Amino acid sequence: MTQEEGIWVVGYGSLIYKPPPHSTYCIPGLIYGFKRRFWQSSSDHRGTVESPGRVATLVPDPKSKVLAVSYYIPPDFVPQVTEYLNVREQDGYKACTVLTHLHPPQDLPLLAQERLDKLPIDVSTGKHTVESVVYIGTEDNGSYIGPEPIIDTARVIATNVGPSGSNYDYLKLLHDALNRMAAAMRCKLSDIEDTYLDNLFEAVQLTT
Ligand code: SIN
């Protein structure tokens, strides 16, 4: 997709509950080949340089998939939204491209449906797919923590606060939003992806 046609941005962390500006449609979708992990430290949003929090990143894993939200950004707003996201996601996140498998709701607006109808359909999932921009804290960035026991991550999340609010709120807003999305798809989050997020949320609540 060229910038003249607009772009799709897919969010799997804060972008799910705090969308980018100027999106025309937002459609749930799945990203295959990744798992969501709170292995990215945050000193600009949900913690400080002295006491960083933990935020979500995507970690490659061929057996996994994650529930996400895809936003369509029309051409006129691509430069503005790209600049906004590059600032918002600056603590170690890199703009990458992934293929998103879209799971539109039944009541999709006509214009959105027309845009979807132009996209290819994946033979294995039967879903429309679209190349989407995604911000990932890849393992080569300075804020990447790497594999961390859930209980340790939970302790960090339970205690940290940054300029965007508490680290607990980041996790709760994300967990709540994903559960609502899964319910709208008539399933549970753990039917779609692994139980990491549920386990982390439970561990944080036991910690507080
Ligand atoms: C995203 O939401 O897709 C990027 C990570 C974040 O801002 O939490």
Tell me the per-residue pLDDT of 22-44, one tens digit each, with 9 for 90 and over.
999 999 999 999 999 999 999 99
Quote the radius of gyration of the chain (alpha carbons, Å).
17
The closest of 159, 50, 135, 126 to 87, measured between CA atoms, is 135
**Percent residues over pLDDT 90 in the chain:** 94
Whether ligand 1 lies within 6 angstroms of the CB of 132 is answered as no
Question: In this predicted model, what pLDDT tens digit does every residue of 142-164 receive, in sequence order?
Answer: 999 999 999 999 999 999 999 99
Question: What pLDDT shows up at residue 170?
Answer: 98
CA of 12 to the centre of ligand 1 (A): 6
Question: What pLDDT shows up at residue 2?
Answer: 53
Specify the amino acid at residue 175: H
Q: Which tokens sit at 150?
A: 């859930």
The domain segmentation of the chain, as residue ranges, is 7-206
Residues 6+ apart with CB under 8 A from 193: 35, 36, 64, 65, 66, 67
Q: Which residue is listed with tokens 């292995």? A: 39
CA of 119 to the centre of ligand 1 (A): 25
Q: Are 69 and 17 in contact (CB under 8 A)?
A: no
Question: What pLDDT shows up at residue 73?
Answer: 97
What is the architecture, at CATH level 2, of domain 7-206?
Answer: Roll (3.10)
Q: Which residue is listed with tokens 């339970």? A: 158
Question: What pLDDT shows up at residue 91?
Answer: 87
Atom of ligand 1 at shortest distance to CA of 15? Answer: 2
pLDDT at 3 over 70: no
- Give 1's pLDDT tier (boundaries 50, 70, 90): low
> b vs e for 175-200, b when ≥16 Cβ sit within 10 Å of the residue's Cβ?
bebbbebbeebeeebeebbbebbbeb
Question: What pLDDT shows up at residue 4?
Answer: 73
pLDDT at 63 over 90: yes
